Structure 1
Amino acid sequence: MLLSQLFLAGLATFASAARAPVTRVLHESRRSLPAGWSVVRRAELDTILPLNIGLVQSNLDNLDAYLMDVAHPESPNYSKHWTAPEVANAFRPSAESIDAVRTWLADDGWISAERIVLSKSGGWVMVNVTVEEAEHLLGTEYYVYEHAEDGRQHLACQGGYHLPEHVSKHVDLVTPTLHFDVKIRRHGSADSSVTKQLGSVGFGASPKMGGPVHTIFTDLEHCDEVITLACLRTLYDFVYTPFAPGRNTIGVVEYTPQSHIPSDFDVFFGNYSKGQIGERPKLVSIDGGSLVPGGDIGESSLDLQYVMGLVGKKQEVLLYQVGDAVLSGSFNNLLDALDGSYCTFKGGDDPIADSFYPDNSPGGYKGPEDCGDKKTAFVISTSYGYQEADLTPAYMQRQCTEYGKLSLTGMTFVYSSGDSGVAGFGNLCLNDEGEQIPGTSGTSFNPTFPGGCPYVTSVGATQVVPGNKVTDRESAVFQRFPSGGGFSNVFPRADFQKGAVTNYLGKFPPGYAQDIFNDSGRAYPDVSANGLNYSVAADGVLRLISGTSASAPTVASILSAINDARLAIGKRPIGWVNPALYSSKFEGAFHDIINGTNPGCGTQGFAARPGWDPVTGLGTLNFAALLPRFLVLP
C-alpha cells in the first residue's frame, strides 16, 4: 500500500511538472478604457467564451514592398495588380503558426483536439472555453464592464493579456480580450448627440443638417453659400464623360440604419442634373443590409447623390449597405464580404466589435454572414470612423493590413478624416494615461481610425470663403466644424509621405510639446475637398449638409473618373493611390490650401501652409492636371 501511494504521488508530481505554468510575455494591452466604460464586477468563472485566436499572416513584412511595386509611378510594374487568389496564398498563415497555437492550447490549456477549430481561411483558431480556462491560458482576469450612457454590459479582460513567448510571434490578436463594443460614427456629425443605435458596433450620429435651400442656384455666383455639382466641377476642374462605364466600378458604403428615400434622387437630379432623373444606385446587401423606413437619411442621401451626379449618367454606382436593422455592421463585416480570405470560421473577425449572423433577434437577418461573395469596386468611399483610442493596436493593424491586401488587387479606399479637428468625437482629447476626456481637461490630440492607416486615402475638408468667388483659393473649413487631421499614435509615418511631412514640420513647426501629438506617426489627411453646405435632397426637401463626409465621396468620384479614362485606353485602375499623389511626378497637380487651422483640445490645432499640411493634406484635386499624369503611367 505504501509503495502504491508513493507511486501515485510520483505520478502526480511528474504530471504537475509536465504541466508547469509556462513563461508568458505581454501580448497586447490597453492603457485605459474607452470613453463611458467602467468595471462593475469580476466575471463568473464558468461563463463560456468563444475564444478566437487570429494567426499572424505570412509575408506581412513584404506588404509595403509588394504595394510599392504596383503603386509607385516609377515602378516598371505600376498597376500590374494581383489576383485575389494570389493575395490569399501569399499571406496565408503558415502551418508552423497553426501547429504552435494548437500545441499551446492542448499542452498549456489542456484543451482536447476535438474542441479546436481552424477557420476555413486558415487565419483563425477557435475554441469555446470557460472564463477560468481563458484566464489560465492568457494570464489575465476577466471583468464585466458597463457603459454609463445606456447601461449595456460587456465582458473583457483587464489591462492586458499574455501568451507564451514562442506562441506570441505566431498570433496577431486574441478575442474577446481588450476589444470593446465601441461606436462607429459617421463623420458628418454636428455634435456628439446620438439619434439611432446601430447595434453592438456603433451608433449613427445626426448629420450637420442646415436649413432648407430656399433658392435653387444653378449658376456659380453663390458657391460660397451653397455647394452644387456645378460648384464642385468648377472648383476641381472636373469635366468628364465616362468612356468605359461597363468596366469601371465605384462603391459607397453605408451602415444600417443609415438609409435614403429613393424618390429624393429625382428631387436632387431634377434641380441639378435633369438627365439623371430616374437613376438609382445598385444595392449590394451585406449581412441583411437594406433601406430602413424611418432610418437616418442624411449621410446616404449626401454620399449617393453627389457620387452619382459627379460620375455621370453612364456609370453604375454600387451601394454597399452593411448590416441588418438590429445588429448593423462594422468595417470588418464589409471587408469579410469583399474578401473571403479575411473571414473567420462562420465569418466576422471579432465577436465583440463585429456583428455575427444569422441574427436570431426579432427582425434580424437570418441568412449566413457574407464572406467573400460580394462584388468589389475599384474605388470605395466611406464616411464613418472610430477614434484610435476606441480600439486596440492589434485590431487596427490587422484591419489596416486588409486594406493593403485589397489594394494589391487594384482597389482604392477613400475615408473621411473626421469633423473634430485634432480632437475626437464630442471634443474628447487624451490625458497622460491615454484616456479620452473632454477637451477642456485633455490636452493630447486624439487621432481617428482608419485615417491613420497608410493604405487608405484620408480626405479633409475645405470651403469657399464667404464673399469669395468659386475661382478663388479655398480655405480649410472654419464654419460649422474643423477638419480632422494630425498624426497617428498607432501607425508610423509612411515612407511615401516622409519628404512632405518633414518639410511641414521643418518649415512650419506647430510649437507643441512632444506629448501633445506623435510627430513620427502616419500623417493625415492626404488630400481634401469642399465639405461645407452641400445642397442635398432629404425627405423631399433640399437641405444643406456639411462634413468631411461630403469631401470623401467627392474625391472618390474624381479618382473613379481617372480609372475610367485609363480603362478606356486599355490600362488598369490606379489602385492604392497615395504613393503616386505624394511623388514628384504629381507635384503641382493640386490646389494648394494655405489658410485655416483645425482647432481642438484647447489649441488651434495645425495650420494649413504651402505644400502638405495636417489640415488639408496635399490640397484639393485638380482633375485637369491629374488626369494626363495618370494616363501616361503604365
Structure 2
Amino acid sequence: MRSFLLPFVLLSLGLAASSDPILSRWIVHERRSHIPSGWSLARRHDASAVVPLRFALAQSNVENIEEYLYDVSHPSSPNYGKHWSAAKVASTFAPSRDSVDAVRNWLIESGIESHRITLSASGGWLELETTVREAEDLLHTSYNVYGHETGVKHVACESYHLPEHLVPHVDFVTPTVHFDAKLSKRFDGGQPLKSVGQPSSGNGPKMVAQALDMTTLGQLATCDKYITPLCLRALYNFWYTPESKENTYGVVEYTPQSYLQSDLNMFAKQFGPDLVGVTPKTYDIDGGMYAGSSKNITFDNNGESDLDLQYAMNLVTAAQPVTLYQVGDLVEGASFNNFLDAIDGSYCKFMSGDDPSQDGIYPDPMTGGYKGPEACGTVKPTNVISTSYGYDEADLTPFYAARQCDEYAKLGMMGITIVYSSGDNGVAGNSGVCLNPDGTQSANGKIFNPAFPSTCPYVTSVGATQVVSGKTVVDPESACEKVIRSGGGFSNYFALPEYQKEAVTSYLKNYPPSYPSNIWNSTGRSRAYPDLSANGANYVVAVDGNFSLVYGTSAAAPVVGAMLAMVNDARLAKGKKTLGFINPLIYSADFAGGFHDITNGTNAGCGTPGFNTSRGWDPVTGLGTPNFPVLLELWKNMD
C-alpha cells in the first residue's frame, strides 16, 4: 500500500481546499492550501525567465513496501529476520524504464526537443531547462515570485497538473509547491528554518535548573526529583553487560547541536568512571561541525547532544562503543534527508532525496560552508539509530513526508531499528503551535498538530513518562506532565498500519476522546503514536560545565535506543539477526508482558487536556515503558 492517505483524512479536518476541476486528461498532482507564514505574493514570474524543471520518477514496487517490510518483521512470517541487502533494496525500488519512457515521450510530444531532456545519473530524475512560459504550459499552472519578510525570494506555484496517464510515473515535480516544508517554520518570529538542529526547531530538551550540587543528591531515594542512570536501570530493570563485538548503536545530531567532551567527562566521572576520556565514534556528514568557539557553547547548542550521548554511552557501558552521526555544517545545517542520503546510497541516487527549500545542499556555496561533495552512501548505518529531533507533520508536504517515510521502511527491511522522540507539547506541535482550519499553524490554533517522523508507520516513536512526586522507582510512573507533555495523537497523512489496528481500535472503542471531530483525526483509520515511552523528566545532565536538570522526549528516545541496542547485542551473541523494524512484534500478543502499562496522566495542548492514558495502548505513552528483562528473553527466543 502507498504510505499516505490525504483524501479522507485532510478533508475530514477541513485542511485542504477542493481539487481543481479536471481539464481534459489533466488532473491536479499537488496543491498547497495556503501561503506559508512570513511569505507574501510579490508578482507573477517573468515568462522569459529560465527554470530548471525536474520530474521525480516514481519508484517501482513502492505499493508493496509494507508487504516487504512485514515479511521480514512480522513474528508469524517464515522470513522473520531475513533482512535484505542494500543492493536488493536499491534494485527493487529503482524507477522503471516504463516511467522514464512515459515522461520523456510526453515531453517530446509537448514540443520539448529530445536533446534538452536529461536522465540523471541515478536514473531517478528527468531534467530540463525551460522558460517559465514553457513550464506553465507543460504543467497547466502559473508561476509566481514570493517574498519573505527576511528578504528571501522564492519561485513556486499554487498547484500543478499532469496528464492522468503520467500520475503513476511521477512522484512530484520541482519547482512547484515544495517551499512550505522549510518556509512555514514559525519559530523566532517566523524566520525560515535553516536546519533541524537550530534551537527551537525540534524536540530539544528543556532545562529548568543549572549548577546542581551533586553532593546533595541521593540515588534511588530521590529519583522523583533527579533522574540518573541508576534510576533508569532500576525503573526498567535494565542491567546488562555487552557480549558481542559486532553490535552497533548510533545517535544522530544536527549542527549546530554538538557535544562537549569536557561535559561527557564530567558526567562520566560522576556516573560511570570507565567512560572518562571516551569519545563516541564520530562520522562527520556534510561538514558536520562541533561547538568550537565560545559563542557556540550554550545550552541551546550543547544540551541535546550532551544529553543524548551521556545517557546512551552510560547505559550501554564502555564495552559498547556509541556512534555519533554529526550532520551539516555551521552555515547551512542539514535535514533528515541529508542523513538518510549518507547512510543509504540508494536514497540519494534513486530518490535524489534533497529539496533545496528544506534540505542542506552540498557543496555549500556560502562563505565558510562545507565545500566537499554531498555524502551519499558513504556511512554505514548502525543497528539501532536514535534521533531526538522532529518536525510538525504540517511543516511538510504529503509527498515529501511519504517519500521519507518509505526510506525508513527500506532501512527496516535491511535490519535497522529507527527510534524517534514523539515531541514535547502534547497534542500541539513544536513550540506549542496548533493548526487552523486553513492548514496554517499558530499559537492560538485549535486543531491538534501531529509530529513527524513519529507519524510515519515505519519508525518507533517514543513518548515520555515521569516518576510521580513523592513516589519511588517501584511505583507506577505517569505520563510526563511537568515542564513537557508527551507528544501523541493521530496522523493527518498516514494510514493506520496493520500492526496497530487492534490496539487503536480498542482505545477508540473503550476510551473514546470527547473532542469534536473537526479538531483531531477521529476517523480511526490513521497512524497513531507514540508506540512506547520511557522517563523524560528531571534528567541530571552535564552541560557547559554545570549539572543541569533537563526534560524531554528527547531524553526518552536514546534510553529506549540503548535498551534495543543491548537486545541486539544478546541476539548477535547467540548468532541471531538484528531486530530491524520492531513495531509488529511489540504490538503482538506475545509481547503483552513486555511493558509497564501507564494509566495516569494526559498530554495537554491546543487549549485542551489532550488525550488520556488508559489500560493498554494510548496516544500519550503508547504501549507503556519497557520491562527490559522480559523483552530481552522474548527477543532472545525469537529465531
> What is the TM-score when the length of structure 2 is the normalising length?
0.91
Which residue matches 2:470? 467
Distance change (3 Å), C-alpha of 1:518 and 1:239? same
Aligned CA-pair RMSD: 2.2
Of 186, 195, 203 in structure 1, the residue corresponding to residue 198 of structure 2 is 203
1:522 alignment counterpart: 527
Cα offset for 1:147?
3.6
Pick from 78, 81, 90 the counterpart of residue 83 of structure 2.
81
Identify if the C-alpha distance between structure 1 residues 198 and 32 changes in structure 2 by more than 3 Å, giving closer, same or farther: closer
Counterpart residue number, 1:64: 66
Partners of 1:536 and 1:552 lie apart in 2 by: 15
Residue of structure 1 equivalent to 2:16 = none
Structure 1 residues without counterparts, runs of 5 or longer: 1-20
* Aligned residue number for residue 304 of structure 1: 309
1:560 matched to 2:565: yes
Q: CA deviation at 1:219?
A: 1.7
Deviation, structure 1 residue 323: 1.0
Identity %: 54
CA distance in 2, matches of 1:609, 1:457: 20
- CA change 1:147–1:222 in 2 (3 A) is farther
Preserved CA contact (<8 Å) 1:348 1:356 = no
Give matches, 1:487-502, under 5 Å: 487-502=490-505
* 55 and 511 in structure 1: CA distance in 2 versus 1, 3 angstrom threshold: same
User: How far apart are 1:324 and its partner, in Å?
Assistant: 1.0
Q: 1:500 to 1:423 in 2, by over 3 A?
A: same
SS in 2 for 1:343: helix
Alignment partner, residue 46 of structure 2: 44
For residues 320 and 539 of structure 1, do their structure 2 counterparts lie closer, same or farther at Cα, with a shift above 3 Å needed? Answer: same
Distance 1:557 1:104 in 2: 51
2:551 corresponds in structure 1 to 546
Give, in whole Å, the separation in 1 of the partners of 2:113 and 2:92. 31
Q: Is the 8 A contact 1:420 1:481 kept in 2?
A: yes
Mapping of residues 28-43 of structure 1, within 5 Å:
28-43=30-45
The letter of the residue matching 1:616 is T
Q: Give how far 1:358 is off.
A: 0.8
For 1:27 and 1:545, how far apart are their aligned partners in 2? 44
C-alpha deviation, 1:311, in angstroms: 1.0
Tell me the TM-score normalized by structure 1: 0.91
The verdict on how the C-alpha distance between 1:292 and 1:139 changes in structure 2, with shifts beyond 3 A counting, is farther
SS of the residue 1:564 aligns to: helix
Change (3 A) 1:49 1:249: farther
Deviations 1:388-430 (A, max 9, x none): 1111111111110011011100011101111111111232222
Q: Structure 1 residue 507 and structure 2 residue 505: aligned?
A: no
Q: Which moved more, 1:265-274 or 1:292-301?
A: 292-301
The residue aligned with 1:370 is 375
SS in 2 for 1:221: helix
Which range is displaced more, 412-421 or 54-63? 54-63
Local SS of the residue matching 1:588: helix
The residue type paired with residue 136 of structure 1 is D
* Cα deviation, residue 482, structure 1: 1.0
Partner of 2:400: 395
| Matching residue's letter, 1:153 | K
CA distance in 2, matches of 1:599, 1:36: 28
Write out per-residue CA displacement over residues 56-79 of structure 1, whole angstroms, 9 at most, x where no aligned residue. 111112111111111111222111
Q: Is the 8 A contact 1:181 1:201 kept in 2?
A: no
C-alpha spacing 1:125/1:292, structure 2 compared with 1 (3 Å): farther
What is the CA-CA distance between 1:182 and the residue it aligns to? 4.1
Query: CA 1:42–1:336 in 2, change beyond 3 Å: closer, same or farther?
Result: same
CA distance in 2, matches of 1:304, 1:193: 27
39-48 or 416-425, which deviates more: 39-48
Aligned length: 604
Alignment correspondent of 1:332? 337
Cα separation, partners in 2 of 1:378 and 1:34, compared to 1, 3 Å: farther
Q: Distance in 2 between matches of 1:402 and 1:319?
A: 20
Separation (CA, whole Å) in 1 of partners of 2:317 and 2:367: 40
Deviation at 1:132, TM superposition (A): 2.5
Contact persistence 2:36–2:184 (CA under 8 A) = no
SS at match of 1:498: helix
Counterpart amino acid of 1:489?
Answer: N
**Equivalent pair of 2:184/2:395 in contact (CA under 8 Å):** no
C-alpha displacement of 1:541? 1.1
Query: Which whole-Å CA distance do the structure 2 matches of 1:329 and 1:629 have between them?
Result: 38
Alignment of 1:114 with 2:102, yes or no, is no
Corresponding residue for 2:348? Answer: 343
1:104 — aligned with what?
106
State whether residues 185 and 202 of structure 1, in contact with CA within 8 Å, keep that contact through their aligned partners in structure 2: no
Alignment partner, residue 587 of structure 1 = 592
Which residue is equivalent to 1:155?
155
2:121 match: secondary structure: coil
What are the superposed Cα offsets for residues 5-43 of structure 1, whole Å, 9 maximum, x if unpaired?
xxxxxxxxxxxxxxxx97311011122233333323222
Q: Distance in 1 between matches of 2:376 and 2:621?
A: 36
The answer to whether the aligner puts 1:444 opposite 2:442 as a matched pair is no
Structure 2: how far apart are the matches of 1:307 and 1:119?
A: 40
TM-fit CA distance, 1:599: 1.0
- Report deviation, 1:151: 4.1
Q: Which amino acid aligns with 1:629?
A: L
- Measured after TM superposition, the shift of residue 185 of structure 1 is 12
Does 2:410 align with 1:405?
A: yes
2:183 touches 2:192 (CA, 8 Å); kept in 1?
A: no
CA change 1:37–1:389 in 2 (3 A) is: farther
Give the superposition deviation at 1:111.
2.8
Are residues 400 and 513 of structure 1, via their aligned partners in 2, closer, same or farther at CA, if it must alter by over 3 Å? same
**Amino acid of the residue matched to residue 31 of structure 1?**
S
For 1:156, the aligned partner's letter is: A
- Label 1:98 to 1:347 Cα distance change in 2 as closer, same or farther (>3 A): closer
Larger radius of gyration between Structure 1 and Structure 2: 1
CA distance in 2, matches of 1:473, 1:137: 61
SS of corresponding position for 1:624:
helix
The structural deviation recorded for 1:184 is: 10
Equivalence for 1:458: 461
Query: How do residues 9-28 of structure 1 correspond to structure 2 at under 5 angstroms?
Result: 23-28=25-30
Q: Which amino acid aligns with 1:231?
A: C
- Which residue identity is paired with 1:551? A
Cα offset, 1:106, TM superposition: 2.3
Partner in structure 2 of residue 15 of structure 1: none
- The one-letter code sitting in structure 2 at the alignment partner of 1:605 is G
Match of 1:319 in 2: 324
Answering whether residue 433 of structure 2 is matched by residue 434 of structure 1, we say no
Structure-2 separation of matches of 1:52 and 1:292 = 37
Is the contact made by 2:242 and 2:566 (CA closer than 8 Å) also made in structure 1? yes
Deviation track 1:522-557 (CA, whole Å, cap 9, x = no partner) reads 000000111112111111111112111111111111
